[in-house]
Amino acid sequence: MNNSDYNLLVLDDSKAVLTRLEQLLVGFGYNVITASLPSEAMKVLNCEFIDCILTDFEMPEMNGPDFCKQVKADDGFRQIPIIVLTSSDGKKSIMTAIESGADDYVLKSTDPDIINLKIRAMIRLRVLREELISFQRTSAVQSMVATYNHELNNPLTIAIGFMKILEKKSDVSELKAFHKIKESLARISDVVKKIKAVEANKTVRYTEKSKMMDISSPLSESSVKIVEPEDSGGSGESAA
């Protein structure tokens, strides 16, 4: 775990405290962004990716616990761990901080190495939570893909089979519309085959913060098998 890979947001109404904390945390290798007001901190959260927040307990505009509640109420920021910095080790202050949504608290007099360890622990917990959420989402997507693949493949098999019968038994092969339908079915079939053959964990970046499954890889020989429907009766009658 390299501290330089992580961005910290430090909130405190005291410029002197902000300067001291920034120097301390930069010394540990973190990328540090400071804010002296909760409103400034919220603006930072809306434009920067933050891995952990350190906030003062007592502030004039909004105290630390209320700021925690505001952050945790937003779905986009809920997973960001928050450490409350406090000058008091009283039970009431600690309980207020934790009940407001803070993930941990640190006394401002705490040894710097302990502060660093607490930050690293919070970041590790966030990474583990995100991995768990990603695994749950992937499992859900896999189930959904398997269901859709099955539901698409059955009618597609029948449609392609009847198209082949029509092509053999009539003059529709000369029609433009027939060829358009045939090409469209072939394209759908190709997508279904790719979905079936895709590796569950193979993804590509879609946007800066999201990925999508990669179905551009070559198809395997075990792709969807198209079965023609049985020709009932052997006459030139069209299928009902």
Whether residue 193 has pLDDT greater than 90 = no
Tell me the per-residue pLDDT of 56-104, one tens digit each, with 9 for 90 and over. Answer: 998 888 899 999 999 999 988 988 999 999 887 778 888 988 999 999 9
Q: Residue 219 falls within a domain, yes or no?
A: no
Tell me the per-residue pLDDT of 158-192, one tens digit each, with 9 for 90 and over. Answer: 777 777 777 676 665 566 667 777 777 777 777 77
Tell me the per-residue pLDDT of 146-159, one tens digit each, with 9 for 90 and over. Answer: 676 666 777 777 77
165 secondary structure, DSSP code? H
Is 31 found in the same domain as 105? Answer: yes
141: pLDDT confidence band, cut at 50, 70 and 90? low
User: Helix (H, G, I), strand (E, B), or coil: what is residue 147?
Assistant: helix
CATH code of the domain covering residue 56 = 3.40.50.2300
Element (H, E) at 199: none
* 0.75 surpassed by pTM: no
User: Helix (H, G, I), strand (E, B), or coil: what is residue 236?
Assistant: coil
200 secondary structure, DSSP code? T
Q: Residue 125 falls within a domain, yes or no?
A: no
Residue 66's domain spans which residues? 3-110
**How many domains is the chain partitioned into structurally?**
2
Report which residue type is found at 30.
Answer: Y
Average per-residue pLDDT for the chain: 77
For residues 125-130, average pLDDT: 81
- Give the model's pLDDT for residue 91: 85
Q: Using alpha carbons, list the distances in angstroms from residue 202 to 64, 193, 211, 213, 221.
A: 42, 16, 10, 6, 19
